[in-house]
Amino acid sequence: MLQPIFERFVAHSPVSVMVQATIEHALNASQIDDLFQRHSQHQYTRSLFFSSVVDLLTQVVCGVRSSIHAAYQAAAEPLGISLTSVYNKLNGVEPEVAAELVRHSARQLAPVIDQLGGALQPWLPGFDVRVLDGNHLAATEHRLQETRDDSAGPLPAMVLAVLDPARRLIVDVFPCEDAHTQERALLGDVLERVADRQLWLADRNFCVRSFLVGLAKRGAFFVIRQHAKLAWKPAGKLYSRGRIAEGRLREQKVKILDDEGKWVVLRRVTLELDEPSRDGETEIVFLTNLPAEEAAAGVVAKLYRKRWTIEGAFQELATALNSEIATLCYPRAALLAFCAGVLAYNVLGVVKGALQAEHGEAAVEEISGFHLAQEIGTTRRGMMISIPEEEWRWFATLSAVELAAVLRELAGKVRMAAFKRKRRGPKKPTAKRNYNPNKPHVSTARILDRRKSKETNTHQAP
């Protein structure tokens, strides 16, 4: 199916070919530039196309280049503008444009995963699950003049992200340039994108009366951890609902007021933990509007416990993918880089879907995102030199069905053991260390000599 020029890389690094083929499909240059024209309110294209900026960022977040400067210098075809102009473009891209870039990638890639049959089993059949969480981008270098004399870390921005856990795609983001903005301030924007029969999972920061009521009014459902300040009243008796692995369950009907002063009845599920959490909590309380016949109390508790999936996505974005670039101190540049990282994360979601279709879900669960990203970063640079750019444009013309067929064929050539994660055992409690101010340092070599001497004496003893 592929041209002979791809054979060497298909044989030695099929994952890299899969990633680049998916990028070409998701980030068609003409579509990206059209997206910019439609959503940008102030910036315009003069000499530097938005697709070129996205390409530079994609190289950095995938580990192909170490910085924007390095990607700029290594461009196969000189961009014809100064590096300063590139940074000015980055610093001015509006947050809505960056957010639309993520939505575009999800719209392009979700059909490919569906054609592959690479989605995970639904968390709750009949519901389209969404996991909502916020991420404050890591502090940048002290590059702004005003930050150089202050030890406080300059936080460039924050973003709310929405994960489709079945497809392994981040389908939406809500960026904010002010890193100190409360996550709750963006919930009105989130509600505008809620659809019927969606099931939203979120932690207690999002347990706001207007958000809960807004989800219910839009025909959506939720499992959200209760915030202590939420006002509610009992609407029924407290019942025992058995046990799950973590502890005992109780359930009660409660009610909250909507904006019109009418009562909205919810289920309040309490999980009494057998062992206190890391924060010393002995119980976790969830609020939900799911019907009891479709989700018993134990199902509600288990659904919420899966919410950590989005935190794993943020971890992969920050470590396996370089989505938080420390040199980009301007909020808009940092947000665009994060969204470019989300694009790469979504591309990896398609690759995992293809691998699942060929090797099974259990095998993909053992795949390390770090090892995948490392393979891409070390191989892609040479691959793009060896295979001319025009050879890749073919992938942009493929339908979802055609691309799925190509990816599945490539997935069959992947040696899964090369990307297997190493699972660590349970963490042990940290022991208190002895401190001797007279011995701030020790010689490791002397410690090993004493150990060896002690072992020798032990073996020689009768």
* DSSP assignment of 280-324: ---EEEEEE-S-TTTS-HHHHHHHHHTTHHHHHHHHHHHTTS--S
Q: pLDDT at position 174, please? A: 97
The side-by-side arrangement of strands in the sheet containing 263-273 is: 169-176, 158-164, 128-136, 198-202, 221-225, 283-288, 263-273, 247-257, 233-244
In whole angstroms, what is the distance from residue 453 CA to residue 444 CA?
14
Lookup: tokens for 153:
């870390």
Segments of the chain with pLDDT less than 50: none
Nearest to 192 by CA among 119, 99, 300: 99
Helices (H), 193-243: 209-217
Q: pLDDT at position 427, please? A: 65
**Neighbour tally for 38: CB within 10 Å:** 9
In whole angstroms, what is the distance from residue 291 CA to residue 270 CA?
16
Instruction: Tell me the CA distances in angstroms from 339 to 32, 156, 370, one per residue in order.
Output: 13, 14, 18
Cβ atoms of 33 and 48 closer than 8 Å: no
* DSSP assignment of 23-56: HHHH--HHHHHHHHHHH-SS---SSS-HHHHHHH
The b/e string for 250-286 (b: 16+ C-beta within 10 A; e otherwise) is bbbebbbebeeeeebebbbbbbeeeeeeeeeeeebbb
Kindly state the DSSP code that residue 233 receives in the 8-state scheme: E
61 contact partners, CB below 8 Å, separation of at least 6: 321, 322, 323, 325, 337, 340, 341, 343, 344
Give me Rg for the CA atoms of the chain: 25
Q: pLDDT at position 76, please? A: 63
Cβ atoms of 330 and 156 closer than 8 Å: yes
SS3 content of the chain, % helix, strand, coil (to 5): 50, 15, 35
Q: pLDDT at position 106, please? A: 96
Helix (H) or strand (E) holding 346: helix 331-359
Classify the C-alpha dihedral 351-353-355-361 as positive or negative.
positive
Q: pLDDT at position 424, please? A: 66
Lookup: tokens for 135:
């991420």
Cβ atoms of 213 and 188 closer than 8 Å: no
pLDDT in tens, 268-304: 999 999 999 888 899 999 999 999 999 999 999 999 9
Q: Is 223 helix (H, G, I), strand (E, B) or coil?
A: strand
Q: pLDDT at position 423, please? A: 72
Q: Given the structure tokens 């101010």, which residue do they identify? A: 437
Kindly state the DSSP code that residue 144 receives in the 8-state scheme: S
